[in-house]
A and B are shown apart, each in its own frame.
Chain A
Amino acid sequence: MYGAVSEIREDIVEQAADYRFKKSPARFAVPLGIAASVCLIGGGIGLAAVLSNGSNVPVANSAETAAGGNVPATVAATVNETYAIILDPNTGMQVGWEDMPLYDKFNWFKRGDIEFTSRKYTGSTYGDIPAGKVGEKLYDVTLTTIETFSVKEFTMPAEVYAIEGIDTDAAVALKYDGTDDYYVFISRGYFPDSVGGMIDALSLRDTMKLGTIYIEQVYNGVNGFYMYDPLTMTDAMAETIWKFLDECREVRFVSEGAFVGYRQLFTISADAELIGTANHGIWFTDNGYMITNIMEFGYAFYIGSERIQQLMDDLGVSAQEPYLSTFEVYDAPQTTYDTGDYGIDADYLGSETTVMYTTSLPQTIPE
């Protein structure tokens, strides 16, 4: 039976031998004990992949859309968590169905055309909602899952509630029948209309805690990661950022449009427990975008480079000159292009698919 696998064509095996997967850090949420910078690295590239609606085609720059003020069609969620699988962290083996917690077994449901997915999973930091934060009951649902080994379908009835202060189009609380715990489920179909709309719908003023500021230091192409110079958030800095966000309330959401061809100037880590967000990020780009993945999707807003520069001045941070002088861009057929000086040619990247970055030089960080 396994002989067939041995007979996989040589050209496919050869390609796989050297294949480098483009990283897709859909979740930044790794254990907080690990350096937080790790959770933020590669966000831009990874999100481009996540937001490209399942394909590997980087989305086009939407600056024109922003100027026009029209909210483009949103990206439909294609995440379909039909299968419930957990691997035991110690053995690497799949945890048996009977031993899995309900939130891992039944982690999504559909309401009309909109899919809601759970923020609670084994190892997650957040995802539970205190009973005191649960609002009125909204509706009943039945969650369905196929268990992988037996390929049997299992169902689980549950009740859905509002979360206090959170738009029910964005996130809800779910309680499995026969239990007393509530878990966050976020909508895969929710996109804010503006910065202010996002702040209000997610009650960010009350729920979001700003963390470390990471100033882009160097693109380390060898590992596909950015490296950051972390800066501890002070109360004054947090207030400056909130003031900035309030001043940008009218800035409209421009979908996923800014995810190619930009350089991250700095990033702010953020937690928002009520929507199950742990150690996600808000980053600012050199082409004038503010982007955040606090709801897993990347939400992009065209703020403008001048305002971002003003924020940096107010925070007293400055983007550092990158150390790299040269790196290469690979497209899908492994054709190599040398982009010359540091920086990604946006037009160029926008025309490619499955873009992967690497460096042509051994990287060392100067003293």
Chain B
Amino acid sequence: MEDTGIIELYFARDESAIKETDKKYGAYCTAIAMNLLNSREDAQECVNDTYLSVWERIPPHIPECLRAFLGRMTRNISVERYRKLHAKKRFSGMETALDELAECLPSDENVERAFDAKMLADSLNEWLDRLEERDRMLFVRRYWFGDTAKALAAKMGFSEAGVSRKLARLRDSLREALTERGML
């Protein structure tokens, strides 16, 4: 079904909207959640929460791109779940990716105290725009989608160590960019 048709089902308050969403984008959302949480059970719960949240938001919201809307919501819900669970135990999924980023992003406290979070997001987007496409995609696949270095290595034809080196250089570059803007 076309996205417009699915959105129309939401507007009509037809519960088959969720079924159609799951049919078309269930695997996409589950993959995002799984990458971040490394637990099928937690991932499935996050995807279900995503559907519920979408049901509550459409209408009145009309997403320009349904897949992007679902992906972002799944990611945000998964990150929230990760935060809740993180205090109890350590994970090999999200944790690794976030630990890597910790070295080049300001802490929550600093962001709240000194900067508008949107400024940080804008800076991040500007920095991404300056990257070569391949590097930009690598960064987003790793830190937005949560792909593992191993998975990226397979996609790119590199060794895992090669991917890690590339990511390390990208993080250095991001750190420099944020430092130049006085955000670090």
Contact = CB atoms under 8 A, between A and B. Distances in A.
A337 interface: no
Interface stretch (B3-11, B43-51, B128-136): B128-136
Given A5-B124, A7-B124, A85-B168, A26 B149 contact: no
Contact of B165 (A1, A83, A149, A332): A83
A92 B148 contact: yes
Given A10-B65, A13-B72, A17-B28, A24 B141 contact: no
B160 A149 contact: no
Given A2-B98, A6-B75, A93 B136 contact: no
B97 to A, nearest CB: 9
Given A2-B79, A13-B72, A83-B168, A8 B137 contact: no
Contacts of A121: 161
Contacts of B96: 92-93
B125 A10 contact: no
A94 interface: yes
Contacts of A67: none
Contacts of A15: 137
B119 to A, nearest CB: 9
Contacts of B128: 8-9, 12
A6 B76 contact: yes
A23 interface: yes
B125 A8 contact: yes
Interface string B48-90: 0000000000000000110110011001100100000000000
Contacts of A92: 92, 96, 148-150, 160
A94 B75 contact: no
Q: Which 7 A-B pairs have the closest CB atoms?
A: A23-B157, A7-B121, A16-B140, A85-B164, A21-B156, A19-B137, A25-B157
Given A7-B118, A17-B28, A24-B158, A1 B108 contact: yes
A165 interface: no
B148 A4 contact: no
Contacts of A307: none
Given A5-B144, A7-B125, A26-B162, 15 more contacts: A6-B72, A6-B144, A7-B124, A8-B125, A8-B144, A10-B68, A10-B72, A13-B71, A13-B140, A15-B137, A16-B136, A19-B141, A85-B164, A87-B164, A93-B92
A12 B136 CA distance: 8
Nearest to B151: A92
Contacts of A56: 132, 134
B12 interface: no
Interface in B138-152: 138, 140-141, 143-145, 148-150, 152
A315 B98 CA distance: 55
A86 B161 contact: yes
Chain B contact residues, majority secondary structure? helix
A27 B159 contact: yes
Contacts of B102: 1
Contacts of A85: 161, 164-165, 168
Nearest to B165: A83
Chain A contact residues, majority secondary structure? loop
A14 B137 contact: no
Contacts of A22: 134
Interface in A1-59: 1-10, 12-17, 19-27, 42, 46, 56
B148 to A, nearest CB: 6
A3 B102 CA distance: 12
B155 interface: yes
Contacts of B148: 92
Contacts of B157: 21, 23-26, 42, 46
Contacts of A83: 164-165, 168-169
A87 B165 contact: no
A253 to B, nearest CB: 25
Contacts of B28: 17
Interface string A140-171: 00000000110100000000000000000000
A6 B79 contact: yes
Nearest to A20: B155
Contacts of A42: 157
A286 interface: no
Contacts of A273: none
B131 to A, nearest CB: 10
Nearest to B99: A149
A91 interface: yes
Nearest to A25: B157
A92 B137 CA distance: 21
A86 B159 CA distance: 10
Nearest to B119: A4
A151 B64 CA distance: 42
Contacts of A20: 155
Contacts of A2: 79, 98, 101, 105
| Max chain A Cβ within 10 angstroms of own Cβ: one of B161, B165, B169 | B161
